[in-house]
Amino acid sequence: MCLKSLEFLPVGRGRIVGVFGRKPTAGEVFLACKEYIMRAILQRVTRASVKVDGRITGAISRGLVVLLGIRRGDGERQMEYLADKILDLRIFPDEKHSMSRSIREAGGGILLVSQFTLYGDARKGRRPSFDEAEAPELAVKVYRQFAERLSSQGVRPEEGVFGASMLLDLENDGPVTILLDSEREF
117 catalytic, yes or no?
yes
SS3 of residue 72 by DSSP: coil
Active site residue 25: no
Q: CA 152 to CA 155: how far, in whole Å?
A: 7
Quote the CA–CA distance of 183 and 174 in Å, as a whole number: 26
Spatial distance between the Cα atoms of 116 and 136, rounded to a whole number of angstroms: 9
Which member of 92, 116, 146, 162 is catalytic?
116
**101 close to 90: Cβ distance less than 8 angstroms:** yes
CA distance 152 to 150: 6
Residue 115 among the catalytic residues? yes
Across 5-33, b (16+ Cβ under 10 Å) vs e yields eeeebeeeebebeeeeeeebeeeeeeebb
- The active-site residue, picked from 43, 92, 115, 146, is 115
Is residue 103 within 8 Å of 152, Cβ to Cβ?
A: no
The residue annotated as part of the active site, out of 117, 130, 153, 177, is 117
Catalytic positions, please? 115-117
